[in-house]
Amino acid sequence: MKIVRDLDVKGKRVLVRVDFNVPLKDGEIRDDNRMVAALPTIKELLNKGASVILFSHLGKIKHKDGEEAIKEGKTKNNMQYLVDHLASLLPGVNVSFCNDLRGKSLKETVSALKPGEVLLMQNTRYEAGEQKNDPELAKEWASLADAYVMDAFGTSHRKHASTYGVPEILKAQGKPVALGFLVEKEVQALSRCVDVKDEDRPYVAILGGLKVSDKIQVIDSLLKKCDKILIGGAMTYTFKKALGEDVGISPVEDDQLDYARRCLEEADGKIILPVDNIVTDAFKDWTIKKVSKEIGPGFEGMDIGPETIKLFQEELKGAKMVFWNGPMGVFEQSDFAAGTIAVAEAIANLPDAFTVIGGGDSAAAAAQFGFKDDFSHVSTGGGASLEMIETDGKLPGIEVIRD
């Protein structure tokens, strides 16, 4: 697979699929991490004398929901909000914006672009054909460029026009396509969690978060690869109920009980469940918050308890590789953050382990509690990192780049 450093693009126009899907509030960027993460690739291309055309989706636009919804989506998720900030991240570089996603004026703007200049296109999802990988749209976008670079890890699991159709066409035309530095880094780190080497054992996975149904494929995949799987978060209660426990008013997915039971059988002791919980009488008036082994009628599990923290710390000792997805409790509320903090800290303090976070909320938790820099890799793509594990490392937006 080619990487952006391998490309000879002097005087060429390079279309770069970036992930500029940043959180916006009233047109203000609340976190520019994703923009900053794309800079090494953009700078590499500029230094090589290319002109750079950036395109990305931003937020959701509901094309099915009629004119009003489309208009609202477009106003809320206008890529123009990002131009000034992008320019400030690239001092000395001429950064411009093009509102048109198709047609003559786009073509002319692109033709006028000089080496060393950057053009940011409008939100790709303004076009209804983007998410359908519409061949006409892909053809038009492909016609803008001499080369293509994929640096949008967060959307590499989507087979859209900008992530799949365009590179497919350019590749067929014999034009160079490559991965950007951000995707290269993600692939290197997550591949290690997928193709496990002996020196990376014991390999421990920690899974939490909300729903079992969201994570079935991840659990199945990790069961084959890991030596231990520690389960926390709201997922716990479906597993506990499957074992016959009374989990009170805790969130349970009743349609996943059979799966959970089968999973525990097949896991043959690999899956470790919490031995105590922080529970509340949440739906009454939150008067009671206590540690409890069994959850029991009228109570809701909100976090793993202190004995479980000790158990998980013990299980993590000596681990050579850790994959973490999903908070251990409702960490957004300080009363229920202790489990997530302790687990993040225990992983962060492992002396010589390769440690990876995949999952948006887990990454946010690690950042919030100050452990982010202690991990070997924190994926920028929540959904994409999970799909990487589920599919044994084969994401369409990355595979299409392969020679």
Say which entry of ligand ADP, Mg ion, none residue 366 contacts (CB below 5 to 8 A, set by partner kind).
none
Give strand pairing partners of 147. Answer: 14
C-alpha dihedral sign at 121, 126, 129, 133: positive
Annotated catalytic residue, options 211, 289, 293, 372: 211
Say which entry of ligand ADP, Mg ion, none residue 329 contacts (CB below 5 to 8 A, set by partner kind).
ligand ADP
Query: What's the distance, Cα to Cα, between the start and end of the chain in Å?
Result: 6
**Rounded CA separation 6/21 (Å):** 27
Give ∠ CA 179-184-186 in degrees, rounded to 5. Answer: 130
- C-beta of residue 381 within 8 angstroms of C-beta of residue 154: yes
Judged by beta carbon, residue 31 or residue 332, the one nearer ligand ADP is: 332
Q: Which residues bind ligand ADP (CB under 6 A)?
A: 208-210, 214, 233-234, 251, 301-302, 325-327, 329-330, 332, 359-362, 382
Query: Is 34 annotated in the active site?
Result: yes
Binding residue for Mg ion (CB under 5 A) from 361, 378, 384, 385? 361
Please give the full DSSP string across 215-241, using - where no structure is assigned.
HHHHHHHHHHH-SEEEE-STHHHHHHH
Judged by beta carbon, residue 119 or residue 218, the one nearer ligand ADP is: 218
Query: Is 383 annotated in the active site?
Result: yes
Judged by beta carbon, residue 119 or residue 330, the one nearer ligand ADP is: 330
Q: Site map for Mg ion, 128-167, x if CB under 5 A? A: ----------------------------------------
Position of tokens 């949008």?
152
We find the least distance from the C-beta atom of residue 382 to Mg ion, in angstroms, to be 6
Judged by beta carbon, residue 319 or residue 357, the one nearer ligand ADP is: 357
- C-beta of residue 403 within 8 angstroms of C-beta of residue 2: yes
The span of 59-67, 150-158, 186-194, 359-367 binding Mg ion (CB under 5 A) equals 359-367
Which among 401, 385, 1 is positioned nearest to 164, based on CA atoms? 401
Residue positions annotated with a catalytic role: 34, 211, 360, 383
